[in-house]
Structure 1
Amino acid sequence: MNRSTSTRGTVGAAVAMSLVGSLTAVSATIADYPVFGGQAVRYAVAAAILLAVCRAVESRRAGPRGAETRRAARPTRREWVYLAAVAGTGLAAFNVFIVLATEDTSPATVGTVIATVPIALALAGPLLERRRPAPVLVVSACVVTAGAALANGLGSGTARGLLLALGALAGEVCFSLLAVPVLPRLGPLRVSAYSAALAAPMLLAAGLAADGAGVLRAPTGAELAGLAYLSVVVTTVAFLLWYDALGRLGPDRAGLFAGLIPVSAVITTVLLGLGRPGPADLAGAALVAAGVVIGLRPSRARRPETVPDGPAGREPALEAG
């Protein structure tokens, strides 16, 4: 991994998780909109944008062998299985668990549980690649998680709420790990587009089961702005940056930046005038920063570059956002 690749992955992961962290505050603008319907709209709009960009990129690259190149870039049956698993666990199920968990426990508790993502990725990522987790990454992941939990605040709730929060944590981990096998060939743009497209009908089905005909309605002006932000910024842009960073840094190193989610949530809340950070918020942010710095220190054994290359996998800068 060269310096430019590492820098690009680092910046991309940090921006992606910061954008995801803004979701909590912005979601307040669509609090009265049907939850599953809103999420289905969010992913449908993001998928439409991403698929349009896919077509534009492929058209720009099309030449005498353009049709052959497009066919080569289409997912195989095995890749469709992985993409459906990403959509079902990391997108649809994650949102379902979040919604159900907050009915039984506080958002702070849910956030604290999800804040353990860095530890899970620091352990599971290397194991899936048949290598030992780097001790420094495990330690730094624990520091990041402690900071994220401190920034979130330790809440309380029921055992059912805790189990549902753990389900959301599993979905967040799957969002990254299940994408790793398909990123080298398909690239971040196609993985983002296809997973979002598959998640939309899954969430719509969940909404129909939960809300019936009320799953969708015309949004108000504020709701429309909130849905647009979630679709374009939190989903389209953040997905592209995250999956690009995942291929460049690996799930263990990239996972450290998940600790920025609650910190970004605090900052967004302040910017929107919804609250002010307390001592725990500031101390948590400092711990997260320290953990990320520890985990990203240069090491002798560099992880090989895994960003797609070759005619069927390499994409121009447009694809990575």
Structure 2
Amino acid sequence: MNTSQKRGTFGAGSAMFLVGTLAAVSATVSGYPVFGGQAVRYAVAALILLAVARFAGGPARRPSVRDWVLLAALAATGLVAFNVCVVAATEHTGPATIGTVIGTVPIVLALVGPLLEGRRPAPGIVVAACVVAAGAALANGLGGGSARGLLLSLGALAGEVCFSLLAVPLLPRLGPLRVSAYSAALAAPMLLAAGLVADGAAVLRVPTGGELAGLAYLSVVVTTVAFLLWYDAIGRLGADRAGLFGGLVPVSAVVTTAALGIDRPGAAEVAGAALVAAGAVLGLRARVAPREPALPEPVTCEAAPIGIARGSA
């Protein structure tokens, strides 16, 4: 494993671990309007990321029309639709079911990610992704619920997949910093609009001290830092390998709640964490098929067609 892959491995693992802390921290903002809080979270993260991008210097490519379409799709699906589906799903099923369904993200990324990058899925990574997904489901406690809850959970799964896959064609041109900044900036007004529909004028209010601290953590750590680490990892490892670390989210949630004294992990959670770790190691050692050679493109003055190629929190 070279230096870039080691950095990607560390970044992907760290990003998903930070995202997993969201479950425990969200308790501090449970009384704040959901969509308004998410809009504030992404707006603050966008301001931080744009400021960092401005002072970081270096060559900056302006997004093309195609880039803006992909960024808007990423924000609408990977950030907005994901949050809407999760919130709606909680009314019809338990967190365990939602977490179990979303925990299958590694399998989808292992199958679809390589195809969008011009290579064949690696059987070893697909098997490893299944192990990771099984571990995540075990750590989540499996769960049950209504058919509507399951469908909404599948919608959240689709949003989570888009969050990674739609970024694939954007990262080489814009880099992880600007992809994170632009997607968060686009998601904030979308979530505010969703909040106006759901909560009306109560979509925003002055937060309490505890809510302010929770929103600050979600904005800076779970969004700003985790987004940067995740998108950098995808560029280094590919969506399939990076996706293996998605199984760390429920494991991190268990660790965080235990560290805060909220709950103690049981045998199922520990076994699930072990499966996630085993699957990640297995996947990182698997061989990856080489990229398919690109066919020569005819010279043309027309813009390339918009394509979806890879796309919470």
Task: Give TM-score, length-normalised by structure 1.
Answer: 0.89
The residue correspondences of 1:1-321 to structure 2 (distance < 5 A) are 3-58=2-57, 61=58, 69-70=59-60, 73-297=61-285, 299=287
Give the superposition deviation at 1:300. Answer: 7.3
Post-superposition Cα deviations, 1:19-44, rounded to whole Å, max 9, x if no partner, equal 00111111011111000000000000
Query: Which residue identity is paired with 1:288?
Result: V
Give the superposition deviation at 1:129. Answer: 2.5
Residues 5 and 157 of structure 1: CA distance in aligned 2, closer, same or farther (over 3 Å): same
Post-superposition Cα deviations, 1:136-157, rounded to whole Å, max 9, x if no partner, equal 0000000000000000001111
Residues 291 and 100 of structure 1: CA distance in aligned 2, closer, same or farther (over 3 Å): same
C-alpha root-mean-square deviation of aligned residues, in Å? 1.3
Query: Which residue identity is paired with 1:190?
Result: R
Residues 41 and 300 of structure 1: CA distance in aligned 2, closer, same or farther (over 3 Å): closer
2: CA distance between counterparts of 1:82 and 1:10?
Answer: 26
1: CA distance between counterparts of 2:286 and 2:194?
Answer: 45
2: CA distance between counterparts of 1:128 and 1:50?
Answer: 27
2: CA distance between counterparts of 1:12 and 1:268?
Answer: 19
Give the superposition deviation at 1:126. Answer: 1.2
Give the superposition deviation at 1:273. Answer: 1.1
Give the superposition deviation at 1:301. Answer: 5.5
2: CA distance between counterparts of 1:276 and 1:127?
Answer: 41
Give the superposition deviation at 1:127. Answer: 1.8
Task: Count residues with an aligned counterpart.
Answer: 292
Q: Give % identity.
A: 75
2: CA distance between counterparts of 1:212 and 1:300?
Answer: 50
- Equivalent position SS for 2:205: coil
Partner residue in 2 for 1:66: none
Give the superposition deviation at 1:298. Answer: 5.8
Partner residue in 1 for 2:298: none
Query: Which residue identity is paired with 1:220?
Result: T
2: CA distance between counterparts of 1:290 and 1:150?
Answer: 14
Preserved CA contact (<8 Å) 1:249 1:303: no
1: CA distance between counterparts of 2:268 and 2:290?
Answer: 35
Residues 208 and 298 of structure 1: CA distance in aligned 2, closer, same or farther (over 3 Å): same
Which runs of 5 or more structure 2 residues have no equivalent in the other structure? 293-313
Partner residue in 2 for 1:309: none
- Equivalent position SS for 2:90: helix
Residues 106 and 7 of structure 1: CA distance in aligned 2, closer, same or farther (over 3 Å): same
Give the superposition deviation at 1:51. Answer: 0.4
Post-superposition Cα deviations, 1:64-93, rounded to whole Å, max 9, x if no partner, equal xxxxx44xx110110000111110000011
2: CA distance between counterparts of 1:300 and 1:119?
Answer: 15
Post-superposition Cα deviations, 1:250-276, rounded to whole Å, max 9, x if no partner, equal 000000000000000000111111100
2: CA distance between counterparts of 1:300 and 1:115?
Answer: 22
2: CA distance between counterparts of 1:195 and 1:6?
Answer: 25
Give the superposition deviation at 1:132. Answer: 1.8
- Equivalent position SS for 1:187: helix
2: CA distance between counterparts of 1:129 and 1:300?
Answer: 12
Query: Which residue identity is paired with 1:223?
Result: E
- Equivalent position SS for 1:294: helix
2: CA distance between counterparts of 1:170 and 1:219?
Answer: 31
Runs of 4+ more than 3 Å apart: 298-304
- Equivalent position SS for 2:32: coil
2: CA distance between counterparts of 1:274 and 1:38?
Answer: 23
2: CA distance between counterparts of 1:149 and 1:261?
Answer: 11
- Equivalent position SS for 2:285: coil
Give the superposition deviation at 1:303. Answer: 7.1
2: CA distance between counterparts of 1:300 and 1:95?
Answer: 33
Query: Which residue identity is paired with 2:163?
Result: F
2: CA distance between counterparts of 1:302 and 1:134?
Answer: 10
Partner residue in 1 for 2:307: none
- Equivalent position SS for 1:103: coil
Preserved CA contact (<8 Å) 2:46 2:185: yes
Preserved CA contact (<8 Å) 2:78 2:163: yes
